[in-house]
Amino acid sequence: MYDIIIVGAGPAGLTAAIYARRAGKSVLVLEKDTFGGQVTYSPKLENYPGFQEISGNELAQKMLEQALALGAEIDMDTVTEVMDGEVKTVVGEAGSYEAKSVIIAAGARHRRLHLPNEEELIGNGISFCAVCDGAFYKGQHVAVIGGGNTALQEILLLSEVCSKVTVVQNLAFLTGEAKMIQAVEAKDNIEVIYSTVVTAYEGERSLKAICLKNTETNEDSRLEVDGIFLAIGTVPENGAYRKVASISGQGYIEADEHCMTGTPGVFVAGDCRTKTYRQVATAIADGAAAALNACRYLDE
């Protein structure tokens, strides 16, 4: 029996664990994939207070070490259901866990294009993380799908190791920060194709090329590349929490900055909740708020 079970070990979940442990609560953090969450895929953070520059992986490692040093228990399991009651039951693929309160900090996963053969080509020409896989394409030609801040980070990193980076953007403009757009435009080995979408992948065991369509002219084209990086955002996976939380039409848990769900004793934090901005700083703020409110609930 724990005071608080936290689902997810990203910045929101680890911050919640730190705050809860400092309040003297027993804490179990369950993570299904990567300790640190999506931030571990960010090669460089330049807008996180206290650090002029730090990699997402390094920041996540510091958070993890702090939570462990304070006595939080952290385990690997995929949560499939959360059940309400005087005692909350968190059901995972490896077992069931009980707690007096729960904080859902499940984050979100990388979006796919959902084209034929996509899952088979992930790791065989399709990647999501330039810092993880960029070195495999040294001196080669890659494409990046997307034009937001995440995509621009990937593009700039890949441009340092690849001979050419082709950006495929579905809109007529890039949507990231102006400073990052200027940095992309200043690179000689970056080409941006606007108003274009990917319609198919070529290659069975490894990616050979991508098929493109211009959304303004309907013109079809083909681009031979050594690999592509999908940087089109993330999507929440909140199906396991439908019994204890209201889910929006976009799949996010409905909650405001107080991080309270409609179920007493169940809280939510980070990218999996409805919010305007999904940044590391806002995830950490959520984690603190959720933990403080969970502690208040336990102490009442």
pTM of the model: 0.76
What gap in Å lies between CA 275 and CA 287, rounded to an integer?
Answer: 14
Burial class (CB in 10 A: 0-12, 13-18, 19+), 262: exposed
What gap in Å lies between CA 9 and CA 54, rounded to an integer?
Answer: 19
Domain carrying residue 150: 118-230
What gap in Å lies between CA 137 and CA 299, rounded to an integer?
Answer: 54
Do 167 and 27 lie in one domain? The reply is: no
For the segment 182-241, what is each residue's pLDDT rounded down to a tens digit? 999 999 999 999 999 999 999 988 999 999 999 999 999 999 999 999 999 878 989 999
Task: Write down the H helix ranges in 111-251.
Answer: 118-121, 130-133, 149-159, 178-185
CATH number at 284 reads 3.50.50.60
pLDDT bucket at 138, cuts 50 / 70 / 90: very high
What gap in Å lies between CA 273 and CA 286, rounded to an integer?
Answer: 9
- The HSE-up count of residue 124 (CA atoms within 13 Å, CB side) is 13
| Residues recognised as catalytic | 129, 132-133
Least confident of 17-21, 37-41, 115-119, 231-235: 37-41
Domain count, the chain: 2
| Torsion angle of C-alpha atoms 11, 12, 13, 19, degrees rounded to 10 | 100
Do 152 and 8 lie in one domain? The reply is: no
Do 133 and 210 lie in one domain? The reply is: yes
Q: How far is CA 171 from the centre of its chain?
A: 22
